[in-house]
């Protein structure tokens, strides 16, 4: 490729008469002009790879069948972990996985999930409809899974129904040297060397299912746990405190004031340091069609009003991050404490014939929500240094869906595959000029953009067109440097609720787009309701 148009394939055609009945209103009926100025010499914060993390909870078929099938399963596996899922996850470079929950974590007792499978107690999943819990997937299986996909551990310890001693015992079991008593116990169960546990979540949603605590009582509990949670070999574990549910700014204020530092008053002790007591503070926020938890909206068969209200809800995380970050800045102006959005994603009403709890068929809307959300996290890379999509396999907004031996990737998976180029790259400032997308009383920016420069000097822009009807004639102005080559890939579909099917080809495979590079400008046409990656090289 050079100054001429790059090799390309056009996106799925929206030819007249080619759409199903009732879908004509979604066809591209017009286009709008938009411009993005890219400060190519700008050097913002590094986009932490952990922003592309995942979340796995013992819920529905997220673990059992989704990840774990057992070593005797006819489904191809390595030590019980299904190989097709591992191969798919390795491709998108998953950096970190949060486990075992979720609400499940504050009822989970780690000792039940180690030792010979035949001796592990058959438990009850009290967090999710009292469903059976075999404990077949425990600490060793989780760590094996991480090793197979080359991801880091983010373990949530049980604060709600557990104890400091139980949490400390788990850290000893996982990280103590091989010649110690905990190390010998670990070795007797099949793993001699200690594991690395870089991230530890101290409880989950302690304001709700994790203990019904107040911010003050949780801050006290966090300080207590933090005094004993440590790694017994290797690098120190980074502690993540329970943060707010959506817009509970008072929770953030109180926890930062009381639990960020080793001592809440300025009087030092000999053994204290200036290092924050917490590495990160969490934020949980889910997207549905509107703002009512009891009326999340359907995942299929929805209309333009539901499309718009869902995107408005997803876009709201930008305001939440700004609000919580401003409070964190009061106590931590150097931004040493990360904001970890360790539960996020689309959560719509499951269909009546859903094969398992909180299972959602995956649609184009999920892809647009994912692209929009990840762009927002990237743009806040100075404070957001981890995010974990809920819940990776077979539960709400997943990367992967399974049906027995069948497996397929979702449109959200393709978004993560496109966006993986941002991992570890430097955020580049952009200025977007585009008309708003308006639907009834909903008004949103028509385009969402984030940009980065990788270590080789290549620029990457990820662009989401929120408008379901209008394409965009887009001009990228590159300020600084000499840029000679560009290519683009896009993901879209004919309908807003187009979904993946086990018995049909994947309609969301990204397609190449025509791109024109000329005198510091890149021009291309962005499809309606789409997610696009543009790569630009010197």
Q: Using H for helix, E for strand and C for coil, what is the string for 382-396?
A: CCEEEEEEEEEECCC
Of the candidates 218, 274, 257, 262, which has an alpha carbon nearest to the alpha carbon of residue 241?
Answer: 218
Coil, strand or helix at 400: strand
**End-to-end Cα spacing for the chain:** 11
Neighbours of 79 (CB within 10 A): 13
Tokens of 59: 């819920």
Three-state DSSP at 245 gives strand
- Please give the helix or strand (H or E) that residue 427 lies within, else none: strand 426-428
The length of the chain, given as a count of residues? 538
d(CA 341, CA 386): 6
What is the spatial distance between Cα 258 and Cα 218, in angstroms, rounded to a whole number? 10
CA distance 59 to 394: 9
Active site members: 205, 343
Place of tokens 């809800």: 313
With contact defined as beta carbons under 8 Å apart, do 82 and 393 qualify?
no
Query: What is the bridge-based pairing of β-strands 521-526 and 516-518?
Result: antiparallel
Distance CA 171, CA 196 (A): 10
* Helices 411-419, 364-379: inter-axial angle, 10-degree rounding: 30
SS3 45: coil
Is residue 405 within 8 A of residue 83, CB to CB? The reply is: no
Say if CB 423 and CB 377 are below 8 A apart.
Answer: no
How far is CA 160 from each of CA 60, 182, 253, 479, rounded to the nearest angstrom? Answer: 22, 24, 22, 52
What is the C-alpha R_g of the chain? 23
Residue holding tokens 């299929």? 300
Q: Dihedrals φ, ψ of 439, to 5°?
A: -140, 105
Per-residue DSSP letters for 157-226? E--SS--HHHHHHHHHHHHS-TTSHHHHHHHHTT--SPPP--EEEE-S-TTTTTT---HHHHHHHHHHHH
Q: Which helix (H) or strand (E) holds 471?
A: strand 470-479
Distance between CA atoms of residues 176 and 380, nearest Å: 36
The tokens 């046409």 sit on which residue?
Answer: 525
């Amino acid at each position: 490729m050079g100054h001429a148009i790059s090799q390309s394939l056009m996106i799925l055609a929206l030819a007249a008469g080619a759409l199903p009945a009732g879908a004509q209103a979604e066809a591209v009926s017009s286009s709008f002009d938009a411009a993005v100025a890219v400060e190519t010499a700008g050097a913002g914060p590094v986009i932490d790879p952990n922003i592309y993390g995942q979340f796995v909870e013992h819920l529905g078929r997220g673990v059992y069948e989704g990840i774990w099938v057992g070593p005797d399963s006819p489904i191809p596996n390595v030590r019980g972990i299904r190989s097709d899922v591992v191969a798919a996850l390795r491709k998108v470079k998953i950096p970190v996985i949060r486990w075992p929950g979720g609400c499940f974590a504050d009822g989970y007792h780690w000792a039940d999930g180690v030792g010979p499978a035949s001796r592990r107690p058959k438990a009850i999943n009290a967090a999710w409809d009292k469903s059976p819990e075999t404990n077949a997937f425990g600490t060793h299986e989780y760590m094996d899974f991480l090793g197979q996909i080359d991801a880091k551990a983010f373990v949530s310890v049980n604060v709600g129904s557990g104890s400091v001693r139980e949490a400390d015992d788990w850290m000893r079991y996982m990280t103590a040297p091989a010649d110690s008593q905990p190390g010998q116990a670990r070795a007797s169960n099949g793993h001699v060397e200690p594991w690395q546990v870089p991230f530890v979540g101290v409880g989950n949603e302690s304001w709700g299912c994790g203990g019904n605590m107040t911010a003050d009582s949780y801050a006290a509990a966090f300080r207590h746990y933090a005094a004993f949670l440590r790694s017994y070999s290797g690098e120190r574990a980074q502690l993540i405190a329970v943060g707010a549910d959506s817009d509970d700014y008072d929770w953030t204020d109180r926890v930062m004031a009381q639990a960020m530092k080793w001592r809440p008053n300025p009087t030092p002790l000999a053994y204290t340091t200036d290092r924050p007591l917490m590495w990160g503070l969490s934020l949980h926020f889910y997207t549905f069609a509107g703002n009512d938890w009891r009326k999340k909206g359907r995942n299929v068969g929805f209309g333009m009003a539901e499309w718009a209200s869902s995107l408005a809800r997803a876009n709201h995380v930008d305001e939440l991050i700004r609000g919580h970050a401003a409070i964190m800045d009061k106590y931590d102006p150097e931004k040493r404490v990360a904001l970890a959005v360790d539960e996020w994603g689309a959560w719509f009403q499951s269909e009546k014939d859903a094969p398992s709890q909180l299972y959602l068929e995956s649609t184009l809307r999920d892809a647009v929500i994912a692209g929009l959300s990840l762009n927002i996290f990237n743009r806040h890379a100075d404070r957001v240094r981890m995010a974990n999509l809920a819940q990776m396999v077979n539960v709400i907004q997943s990367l992967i869906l399974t049906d027995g031996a069948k497996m397929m990737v979702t449109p959200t998976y393709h978004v993560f595959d496109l966006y993986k180029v941002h991992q570890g790259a430097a955020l580049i400032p952009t200025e977007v000029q585009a008309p708003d997308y308006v639907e009834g009383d909903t008004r949103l920016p028509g385009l969402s953009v984030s940009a980065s420069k990788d270590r080789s000097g290549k620029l990457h822009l990820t662009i989401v067109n929120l408008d379901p009807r209008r394409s965009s004639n887009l001009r990228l102005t590159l300020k600084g440097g000499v840029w000679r080559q560009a290519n683009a890939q896009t993901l879209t579909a004919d309908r807003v609720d187009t979904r993946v099917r086990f018995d049909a080809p994947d309609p969301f495979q990204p397609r190449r787009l025509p791109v024109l590079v000329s005198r510091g400008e890149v021009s291309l046409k962005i499809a309606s309701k789409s997610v696009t990656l543009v790569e630009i090289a010197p």
